[in-house]
Amino acid sequence: MNKAFTREPDPDDDDEDDEGAGGGPVALTLPGGARNYITPGGLQRLKDELQYLLHKERPAVTAVVSWAAGNGDRSENADYQYGKRRLREIDRRIRFLGKRIDLAEVIDPEQPRGDRAHQVFFGATVSYAGQSGELHTVTIVGVDEIDLALGRISWVSPLARTLLKARVGDTLLFHAPAGSQELTIVELRYAPIDTPAFSPS
């Protein structure tokens, strides 16, 4: 068969199931059957990114690809090849965001929790002391909202799973990769989580 009519695999054409592909942040996969818990701000950020990709970036890249296609030989046209690759990345990210938004189960940390307000659940900001007395504060958020610089950890992370359902004063055994250590819950609160707005990089 003539090589002109065959499609060679593109090393940059990742599998469609590549979570978070397409230039977006690397996202964690959810455990099988788990719900996609997310804060209202986290969901809005996903929606804003989706709208940006659909209405700004994809049309702009499509215009460049159309222009580049008119410049002759596509096999040696870097603008065309890069544009097509970028379109595939954008389309993967759009599909990924659409699935995450469809599966989202919004939990607002500010909503009244009754008796559960004294236990660690999704949306809690927890301060705990390690064995040597150092104090750490983390906020338990969705898998698409992780930001370690702000102390935001996923509810499926090992630390969050250790903290879940604990109360102030509880001492827990956390099995970290570096070894097991005891943590003591010092403070627990449910407060608004200020999610940074989506901003294209």
Report the SS3 class of residue 166: coil
Domains of the chain: 36-106 (1.10.287.180), 114-189 (3.10.50.30)
Number of H helices and E strands in the chain, helices first, is 4, 7
Q: What are phi and psi of 197, to 5 degrees?
A: -65, 155
pTM as predicted: 0.80
Q: What are phi and psi of 188, to 5 degrees?
A: -140, 130
Q: Tell me the average pLDDT across 16-27.
A: 50
Residues 103-160: pLDDT tens digits? Answer: 999 999 988 778 788 999 999 999 999 988 899 999 999 999 999 999 999 999 999 9
Say which amino acid occupies 169: G
178 vs 27, residue with greater confidence: 178
The number of angstroms, rounded, from the C-alpha of 8 to the middle of its chain's C-alpha atoms is 32
Residues 51-99: pLDDT tens digits? Answer: 999 999 999 999 988 888 887 777 778 888 899 999 999 999 999 999 9
**Can you give the pLDDT at residue 14?**
45
Report the SS3 class of residue 150: helix
